[in-house]
Amino acid sequence: MMGLFRLILFFVQEGFLGIARHKTLSVFAIFIVSLSLYVLGFSRYLTSNINNLLTSWEGQLEVRLVMKDGIDEEGIRKAISILEKDPQVESTKIISPKEAMEFLERLSPSLRALSFKESDNPLPYSLSLTLRKPVDVNKVRVLIESARKIPGVEEAIFDWEWMDKLKTYSRFLAFLGWLLFAALGVASLFTVTAITRILALSRKEEIAVLYSLGATPASIRGPFVMNGILIGLLSSILALIFILVTHLVIRRTMGGDSFILLLLSKEFLTFSDQAALVAVGTVMGGAGGFLSLGSIHDWRYSRFAG
């Protein structure tokens, strides 16, 4: 066990030494790998926040009924009395034009500059219908069709419709993130392989001597695999730092002025997501280091003789 530990420690020392010997190339490799990991991690960051938001909203689904302009309190009460008889409706709430405008201002702070007076607020009254759990979408659609026929109702809006669209956008964003990561990941793999290959060529005589003395392929390849692993590990840490900086920038400089940005940047990557990103980077770097030497038998001393 101690022998294995010393061997691994030797590989780590040689890996760091390889990075130190080729600082410029190693920094370039770390930048390329961290860029691909940043794309993957940031895509996961966005989709995770969107999915958490949708999960939260699914438990608060409601139907919004937009009332016609000029409807009086009597008309609103009659509509409510009809709606409360439906078994899908748990409760109803009247949304005044002022409350509706305040909500829109939270979504888009630029509307505050318009400074609508209560008398010229263009928004109509609306009714918010809280649905009974569990929500049966098909029955709710029947409710919507019947609600549209109630006198005084202009339009009925169901959150589920745009939530389905957001789920589609979230899936597309995740696919796009993986697609970009795949493209950059291949470039990263080739970059690590090429740079580790350069490191190996600078030590070709040493490798040839070790081979001729009977060193195992694993012991020869180990330092170069470790060099790739360290590049991948450092790249993963750098990518996480970049994602954290992006998260903080959104929260502190842009999130305060936009309700949507605050929601989409609510949580940083979970520990499992961070660990997965580090694992992906480490494996990617290690694979590049492993591939860099090709077949150990090709590094025989006779190949470099003369």
What is the chain's pLDDT, residue by residue, as a tens digit (306 residues)?
666 677 777 777 877 787 888 788 888 888 888 988 998 888 888 888 887 777 776 666 778 888 887 777 788 888 888 888 888 787 888 877 777 676 666 655 555 555 554 556 667 778 888 777 777 777 778 888 888 888 888 788 776 666 677 777 777 877 887 888 888 888 888 888 888 888 777 777 777 777 677 677 777 778 888 888 999 999 999 999 999 998 888 877 765 555 566 666 778 888 988 998 899 889 988 888 888 877 766 666 544 444
Task: Output the pLDDT for position 254.
Answer: 61
Task: Output the pLDDT for position 302.
Answer: 43
Report which of 89, 29, 46, 43 is spatially closest to residue 64, judged by C-alpha positions.
89
Q: Are 71 and 94 in contact (CB under 8 A)?
A: no
Task: Output the pLDDT for position 111.
Answer: 53
Task: Output the pLDDT for position 306.
Answer: 42
Phi, psi of 305 (to 5 degrees): -65, 145
pTM above 0.75? no
Q: Where in the chain is the domain with CATH 3.30.70.3040?
A: 59-159
Task: Output the pLDDT for position 305.
Answer: 41
| DSSP letters for 211-249 | HHTT--HHHHHHHHHHHHHHHHHHHHHHHHHHHHHHHHH
Task: Output the pLDDT for position 236.
Answer: 93
| DSSP 3-state of 67 | strand
Task: Output the pLDDT for position 243.
Answer: 92
Q: DSSP letter at 296?
A: G
Tell me which residue has tokens 């020392």. 13
Residue range 59-159 in CATH 3.40.640.10: no
